[in-house]
Chains A and B, each alone.
Chain A
């Protein structure tokens, strides 16, 4: 038998702070271009839904059904990356010229909060939070005069999300689609966490990218298998690109989407092809995972 004890030494846990914000622009569901979001002041996690609706029968409360939960949140910061303009309804047809009221691009976002306790302080660990399928709502920006003390403008954006489904044939098919995932550094293997951070924050040879929820779970399910992407080949006579069939590698064309192994084309212009590891795989470091096929 165990007697409960409260507030033991080392168990005064708390969470604080926010940093390492990363914005990932979504292209056809692929979040392969992460940029640092500086000046992050607050991320508010404000999920909605999961509300009970009661039904009555036989003069009693017969059942209660819950609505679907949705991730919503607010991002507050002193500034925002240029890339976020597209997500905030601004187009940039010419460098430095922003046109408002344009379509809002979907994005992913990750940030980090610190975990602390009474013995280790804020060095105990951290949580990495990830959000997929987000869209920012129009937000108020109050431009105010400079007064007798400095006061930088604090921007704020509300974001809502469309959940991402899990692979129906994968290990997590029983999970419902989600927009939010969180990793606790004090509870996962540090090597696995380092793998995830390589994905999220990039390495010397691979750009920062937000893996899918399936791919994130695969990182912590076991050792990742190294897959080296083979180079696509191009036949200038037929203008056909041959996409290699490499296990653990998904080739895709930014703006077009995933491309299957085999013949692609004929192409009529220069074509940019990239590769990303599939769930359970990672690329070696360094690696070449992007190729520009020159049309000729």
Chain B
């Protein structure tokens, strides 16, 4: 059934060196940068015995940095089962979006 999300939170906090990893943050939350924002995307199933046998959660992970040369996106991209999806700039902040299975 996959590892618990709290393990992923811990990995992100280790990468950041702080607690600026936000899971499904409400729009009103004042975020500190650089940060990682992540949301559940879907759950992938492998079937056996007529039932879902292996379930893996997929997350949409966004790194948000002021520094365009920040190493944070590369660190997230180096995680297993992680693939960069796109990058964009908004509100003077650099966004890198990843798809991550965990």
Is the beta-carbon distance between A152 and B54 smaller than 8 angstroms? yes
| A169 at interface, CB cutoff 8 A | no
- Most chain B CB inside 10 Å of its own CB: which residue of A38, A39, A148: A148
| B61 at interface, CB cutoff 8 A | no
Is the beta-carbon distance between A149 and B81 smaller than 8 angstroms? yes
Is the beta-carbon distance between A40 and B81 smaller than 8 angstroms? no
Give Cα A148–Cα B83 distance, bound, in whole angstroms.
6
Is the beta-carbon distance between A21 and B49 smaller than 8 angstroms? yes
Q: Which B residues lie within 8 Å of A146 (CB)?
A: 80-81
Is the beta-carbon distance between A39 and B81 smaller than 8 angstroms? no
Q: Which B residues lie within 8 Å of A152 (CB)?
A: 46, 54
Q: Which A residues lie within 8 Å of B47 (CB)?
A: 41
Q: Which A residues lie within 8 Å of B44 (CB)?
A: 149-150
- The B43-79 residues at the A interface (CB cut-off 8 A) are 44, 46-51, 53-54, 56
Given A146-B80, A149-B101, A150-B44, also A39-B53 (CB < 8 A): yes
- The A149-180 residues at the B interface (CB cut-off 8 A) are 149-152
User: Which of A40, A114, A147, A150 is the one whose CB lies under 8 Å from B48?
Assistant: A40
Give Cα A18–Cα B99 distance, bound, in whole angstroms.
32
Q: How many residues of B contact A (CB 8 A)?
A: 16
Q: Which B residues lie within 8 Å of A39 (CB)?
A: 48-49, 53
Give Cα A41–Cα B51 distance, bound, in whole angstroms.
10
| A19 at interface, CB cutoff 8 A | yes
Q: Which B residues lie within 8 Å of A147 (CB)?
A: 81
Is the beta-carbon distance between A18 and B54 smaller than 8 angstroms? no
Give Cα A254–Cα B44 distance, bound, in whole angstroms.
44
Is the beta-carbon distance between B99 and A148 smaller than 8 angstroms? yes
Is the beta-carbon distance between A78 and B54 smaller than 8 angstroms? yes
Is the beta-carbon distance between B81 and A38 smaller than 8 angstroms? no
In chain A, what residue has the closest Cβ to B55? A150
| A77 at interface, CB cutoff 8 A | yes
Chain B window 73-102, contacts with chain A (Cβ cutoff 8 Å), 1 for yes, 0 for no? 000000011110000000000000001010
Is the beta-carbon distance between A19 and B81 smaller than 8 angstroms? no
Q: Which B residues lie within 8 Å of A151 (CB)?
A: 46
Is the beta-carbon distance between B101 and A150 smaller than 8 angstroms? yes
Chain B window 12-55, contacts with chain A (Cβ cutoff 8 Å), 1 for yes, 0 for no? 00000000000000000000000000000000101111110110
Is the beta-carbon distance between A19 and B46 smaller than 8 angstroms? no
Is the beta-carbon distance between A78 and B48 smaller than 8 angstroms? yes
In chain B, what residue has the closest Cβ to A114? B50
Is the beta-carbon distance between A17 and B46 smaller than 8 angstroms? no
Chain A window 128-162, contacts with chain B (Cβ cutoff 8 Å), 1 for yes, 0 for no? 00000000000000000011111110000000000
Q: Which B residues lie within 8 Å of A148 (CB)?
A: 81-83, 99, 101
Give Cα A147–Cα B56 distance, bound, in whole angstroms.
14
In chain A, what residue has the closest Cβ to B100? A148
Chain A window 2-45, contacts with chain B (Cβ cutoff 8 Å), 1 for yes, 0 for no? 00000000000000011111000000000000000011110000
- Chain B residues with CB under 8 Å of chain A are 44, 46-51, 53-54, 56, 80-83, 99, 101
What would 23 A/B residue contacts be, using CB atoms closer than 8 Å? A18-B49, A19-B49, A19-B51, A20-B49, A21-B49, A38-B48, A38-B53, A39-B49, A39-B53, A40-B48, A41-B47, A77-B48, A78-B48, A146-B81, A147-B81, A148-B83, A148-B99, A148-B101, A149-B81, A150-B44, A150-B46, A150-B101, A151-B46
Given contacts A19-B50, A148-B83, A150-B56, 17 further A-B contacts (CB under 8 A): A17-B50, A19-B51, A21-B49, A38-B53, A39-B53, A40-B49, A77-B48, A78-B46, A78-B48, A114-B50, A146-B81, A147-B81, A148-B82, A148-B101, A149-B44, A150-B44, A152-B54
